[in-house]
Amino acid sequence: MHPLTKTLTSAIVGFAVGAGAVSGGIYAYHDFIPTAQNQGSNITTPYAKVATYTPPTLPLGPDTISNVVKRVGNAVVKIVATVPQQTSVSSSPYFNPFFGSIFGNNLPQQTSIATDIGSGFFFNSQGYLLTNDHVIHGATNIQVYVPGYNKPFTATRVGTDYATDLAVLKINAPNPVPTLVLGNSNSTPVGAWDIAIGNPYDLSHTVTVGVISAKGRPLTIGNRDYRNLLQTSAAINPGNSGGPLLNLAGQVIGINTAVSTQGQGIGFAIPTSTVMKILPQLMKDGHVIRPWLGVFIGTDSQAIAKQYGLATGTGVIIAYVEPNSPAANGGLTTGEVITAVNGTPVSSASALKDIIDKQTVGVKVNITVNDQGKVLTKQVTLGQEPNGPITVPSNAGLGN
């Protein structure tokens, strides 16, 4: 889990519209109780227990938090992922700079092994667990440490979604495993108490407590665009990624994902409202099918609006077109201003993404653009979003 190093906005709105791939400088960190079946249902998703009610406000006492942790703690696991990395031979302690010069600028690469420690939790008694995609992204071996077992289990990937940073893993345990109930993040108010359980800095089953500080936080984190995160004051550190954020009923309301190093008590979690939309697709298909346009949008300004003869705040400027994307194949180019899709005006990057998200893969959409004052309509066939990062060149943008 990496530190958060940037503000909530950036010069280029870092997402490929319809893809969820992001360019930016913020970094992500790397049975409830025996009567849970009476408190959950399979109405929302057949794969996990889901709360059907808003938990009552519990009286706070010296043992409130500890009782919750005792009931749910065994469903939280530690994840150790082994990730091969390519490094320059110059970083090896055996590299001699003198002899290394014969390679010029093409130094040989060597493979090193990195270990990423994260957290996760079981949502299905057959060994299915949720975590962050960034915890296991690129891993060739995933070990899951389960309370009550002396040796770790080797996990297999069931489904991953790069855009929302969610992953489902499965282990083959000899007995049914304890599970957590997915609660309702939408009905969780700002100011509500929350509990985080995870493995920060490999300190297993660390418990921290805070409150929901805010909801609906959008963040650009590495190459991911999070549009709707819970903000919590519960301490979250490297190793907490993928662990549960719980309410006082012991229900999961979020998956801990990121932390700000610029201030204390600023952590972020993926809400269960997002999880429950994604989970059925991850279980069924192993990935999420989303329509994809393939453009990155530049920030509008009055100067650009004047240059293109637009009303302030009308239209979005294409800062970059991903090669071989639907946008590229449909003739969209850098510098054009998208003003409408299928006749619906576009006033912001998020508005454009919302319009694209409502379409389906393979559908044709009419994109109205303003190209240096010339209004054109181009037809684009939407593709399927890549399930991975898209890197935008550092020089992407309109320039001066």
Q: Give per-residue pLDDT as tens, 291-350.
A: 999 998 876 666 666 666 666 557 888 989 999 999 999 999 998 999 999 999 998 888
Top CATH class, 22-84+109-286: mainly beta
Q: What is the pLDDT of residues 134-184, one digit of tens each?
A: 999 999 999 999 999 999 999 999 999 999 999 999 999 999 999 999 999
pLDDT over threshold 70, residue 212: yes
Q: Which of 165, 194, 225, 300 is catalytic?
A: 165
Whether residue 12 contacts residue 298, with contact meaning beta carbons closer than 8 Å, is answered with yes
Write the DSSP assignment of 241-283 as a string of letters. Answer: TT-EEE-TTS-EEEEEEEEESSSTT-EEEEEHHHHHHHHHHHH
pLDDT over threshold 70, residue 386: yes
Q: What tokens were used for 154?
A: 């080797």
pLDDT for 356 = 94
pLDDT band at 23 (very low <50, low <70, confident <90, very high): very low
Q: Where are the domains of the chain?
A: 22-84+109-286, 291-384
Average pLDDT over residues 40-49: 60
Work out the mean pLDDT of the chain and round it to a whole number. 80
pLDDT over threshold 80, residue 8: no
What are the C-alpha distances in Å from 301 to residues 313, 317, 353? 7, 10, 19
Give me the helices (H) in 87-174, please: 97-100, 133-136
Average pLDDT over residues 259-284: 90
Give 377: exposed, middle or buried? Use CB within 10 Å, 0-12, 13-18, 19+.
Answer: exposed
**In sequence order, what are the beta bridge partners of 50?**
41, 182
- Where b means 16+ CB within 10 Å and e means fewer, 207-220 reads bbbbebbebebebb
Closest CA to 245 of 228, 229, 260: 229
pLDDT for 220 = 80
pTM as predicted:
0.78
165 belongs to the catalytic site: yes
What are the C-alpha distances in Å from 298 to residues 88, 334, 371, 396? 34, 10, 15, 9
pLDDT band at 103 (very low <50, low <70, confident <90, very high): very low
Q: Which residues contact 356 (CB under 8 A, 6 or more apart)?
A: 17, 18, 291, 292, 293, 341, 365, 382
Q: Which residue has the higher pLDDT, 83 or 81?
A: 81
pLDDT for 325 = 94
Q: How far apart are CA 180 and CA 165, in angstroms?
A: 20
134 belongs to the catalytic site: yes
pLDDT for 362 = 95
Q: Which of 23, 241, 260, 273 is catalytic?
A: 241
Give me the helices (H) in the chain, please: 64-72, 97-100, 133-136, 272-285, 302-307, 326-329, 349-357
CA angle 45, 46, 52 (to 5 degrees): 55
pLDDT over threshold 80, residue 78: yes
**In sequence order, what are the beta bridge partners of 298?**
12, 317
Q: How far apart are CA 211 and CA 213, in angstroms?
A: 6
pLDDT for 156 = 97
End-to-end CA distance of the chain: 36
Given 3.30.420.40, 1.10.260.40, 2.60.120.380, 2.30.42.10, which CATH number is that of 291-384?
Answer: 2.30.42.10
Q: Which of 23, 30, 119, 134 is catalytic?
A: 134
pLDDT over threshold 70, residue 95: no
Q: Which residue has the higher pLDDT, 198 or 64?
A: 198
Q: Sheet with 166-170: list strands edge to edge.
A: 153-154, 141-145, 76-88, 109-124, 128-132, 166-170, 156-161
Q: How far apart are CA 279 and CA 53, in angstroms?
A: 20
Pick the range with the lowest mean pLDDT from 94-108, 170-184, 199-213. 94-108
pLDDT band at 34 (very low <50, low <70, confident <90, very high): very low
pLDDT for 162 = 94
Per DSSP bridges, beta strands 337-341 and 364-371 are: antiparallel
Per DSSP bridges, beta strands 12-16 and 295-298 are: antiparallel
Q: Which residue has the higher pLDDT, 380 or 21?
A: 380
Q: What is the pLDDT of residues 215-235, one digit of tens each?
A: 999 888 777 888 899 999 999
